[in-house]
Every structure is written in structure tokens, then in C-alpha cells.
Amino acid sequence: MNTRFKPKFNIKKGDSVVVIAGDDKDLKKPRTVLEVIVDKGRVLVEGVNIVTKHTKPSAKNTQGGIEKVEAPIAISNVMLWDAKAKAPSKVKRTRKDGKLIRIAKKSGEVIK
């Protein structure tokens, strides 16, 4: 991504999202965002894009071996989950008392 301007995303850590594209596409099952990688435009979502990682033995992990971990996916492949409408929704950002708040367009509910 371009490093001149920092991009603004509507998805934050801890949000409920649905995967709208890719191998793990599921529009009915909300999942939790574990991390947002802003400079690369990617998100780490719980239980999505599981990859196999081979690890060498170390002080922490004396055995080593093969483990399954989540890999980041593009932020454009996820959409915020609207709990009230029970469907994915776009986000509108407005100012209220000098603070920027996020509102789900489908139900009009404020996103915490």
C-alpha cells in the first residue's frame, strides 16, 4: 500500500465480521477480528485462512512440529456483521460530540 497517507478502515479489533469472499466465504456465520494490519490492508480473523506452519524446536516449544495457525486475509474480503439485522452491513461514520462513531447502514445501530 501507499505509505503517504494512512488508510482509514471501518473494521477494528474485536469486531464481528463475515467473510464475503474466498475459500472461507460464509455470509451467515459471524467471526471475531483478532488483529488489523493497517499498513498492509489485511485482517486476522478467528478460524479463517488456516495454514500449516512447521516450527523448529526452541526454548518455548521443545518438541517443534507442525501447527495450524490463522493467516491474514484482505480487509476487502470481510464485512461488518450487524447484530440487530442479523446480516452483513456497510458502515457510515459520523461525528457526535466531537467523536467519530460508526453506524451500521442496515439497522442504523451504533457499533460499539
Q: pLDDT, tens digit, for every residue of 11-60?
A: 999 999 999 999 999 999 999 999 999 999 999 999 999 999 999 999 99
What is d(CA 82, CA 9) in angstroms, rounded to the nearest whole number?
17
| Beta-ladder partners of 51 | 69
Nearest C-alpha neighbor of 77 from the set 27, 31, 19, 17 = 19
What is d(CA 5, CA 108) in angstroms, rounded to the nearest whole number?
29
pLDDT for residue 68? 96
**Residue listed under C-alpha cell 495454514:** 51
pLDDT for residue 4? 83
Write down all domains in the chain, each with its CATH number in brackets: 16-83 (2.30.30.30)
pLDDT category, 112, cuts 50, 70, 90? confident
Helix (H, G, I), strand (E, B) or coil at 77: helix
Q: What is the pLDDT averaged over residues 83-107?
A: 95
Q: Is the pLDDT of residue 100 over 90?
A: yes
**Helix-then-strand count for the chain, H and E:** 0, 11
Q: Is the pLDDT of residue 85 over 90?
A: yes
Instruction: Tell me the three cell numbers of residue 64.
Output: 517443534
